[in-house]
């Protein structure tokens, strides 16, 4: 995978944030010529994601570092599994340890939560989508982790998809007006509209939106919306989606379910990096 230069620069900043003007402890007690290898070890059960970025951290420090992975991205690993290995100057390994682990643990947490949502809707037509509720400047990595967990990326940003939301509608005076302006002004084929009630739903259908987002609707209303639409356009459910209710939402017949929690409310996976003889 090609890592964008913006992400590499972000990783450089992360390294600088941690190391500053130097690792005082290692410089005092680790001989400069010392070499070692260290193993990434799973301390829990989770879905693995993030080794390309974890590797990049060490390669920024020293491109001669040897980095091996023993588990595939997206693999379901178990406590005690050895996930990978890094070898090089001991000081380098210690300098990159925390930043590398922080990224690997965070992205594995996203992949793990995504996989739980995907498993919860198995057997239905619904796909699990992410949102733009990502950590600033970490979107590329976090959306990558969603894919490793079996989810689907929604639009990357404001520039690559037309999504007309409540504030857009309020600003221009209505759904039909907003859709008409979008169709006239841009080459993008698909236009998605957020609706909150059946009146808005009918307006979006009449305006010939390509995707309709059912925002914060009840299960009963979503079920009725699916009947009204009857396959004419794709339907996305959004708002307050949890592992407890996602199955019920999927069984209404919607095509997609977007979940902000995939990236804004995750628990990091537990991974250690241990130097071995």
For residue 7, give the 3-state DSSP assignment. Answer: helix
Domains annotated for the chain, with CATH where assigned, are 5-118+266-276 (3.90.1170.20), 123-264 (3.20.20.70)
The neighbouring-strand residues paired with 84 are: 40, 69
User: What is the dihedral sign for C-alpha 257, 260, 265, 270?
Assistant: positive
- What pTM, to 2 d.p., does this model score? 0.96
Annotation says 133 is catalytic: yes
- Of the listed 194, 200, 203, 236, which one is catalytic? 194
- Of the listed 192, 215, 236, 255, which one is catalytic? 215
- Of the listed 37, 133, 176, 183, which one is catalytic? 133
As a whole number, mean pLDDT of residues 64-75 equals 98
pLDDT for res 23: 96
> What gap in Å lies between CA 268 and CA 46, rounded to an integer?
10
For residue range 198-253, list pLDDT tens digits in order.
999 999 999 999 999 999 999 999 999 999 999 999 999 999 999 999 999 999 99
């Amino acid at each position: 995978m090609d890592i964008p230069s913006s992400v590499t620069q972000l990783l450089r900043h992360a390294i600088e944030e941690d190391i500053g003007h130097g690792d005082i402890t290692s410089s005092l007690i680790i001989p400069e010529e010392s070499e070692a290898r260290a193993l990434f070890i799973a301390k829990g059960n989770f879905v693995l994601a993030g080794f390309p970025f974890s590797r990049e951290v060490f390669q920024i420090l020293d491109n001669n570092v040897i980095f091996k992975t023993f588990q595939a991205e997206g693999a379901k690993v178990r406590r005690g599994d050895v996930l990978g290995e890094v070898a090089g100057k001991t000081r380098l390994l210690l300098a990159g340890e925390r930043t590398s682990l922080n990224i690997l643990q965070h992205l594995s947490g996203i992949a793990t939560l995504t996989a739980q949502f995907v498993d919860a809707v198995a057997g239905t037509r619904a796909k699990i989508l992410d949102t733009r509720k990502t950590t600033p400047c970490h979107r590329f990595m976090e959306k990558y982790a969603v894919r490793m967990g079996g989810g689907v990326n929604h639009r990357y940003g404001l520039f690559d998809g037309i999504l007309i939301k409540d504030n857009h509608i309020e600003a221009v005076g209505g759904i039909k007006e907003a859709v008409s302006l979008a169709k006239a002004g841009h080459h993008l084929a698909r236009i998605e509209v957020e609706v909150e009630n059946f009146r808005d739903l009918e307006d979006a259908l009449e305006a010939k939106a390509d995707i309709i987002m059912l925002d914060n609707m009840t299960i009963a209303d979503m079920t009725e919306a699916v009947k009204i639409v009857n396959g004419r356009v794709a339907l996305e459910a959004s708002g307050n989606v949890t592992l407890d209710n996602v199955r019920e939402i999927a069984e209404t017949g919607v095509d997609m379910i977007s979940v902000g929690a995939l990236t804004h409310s995750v628990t990091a996976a537990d991974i250690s990096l241990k130097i071995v003889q």
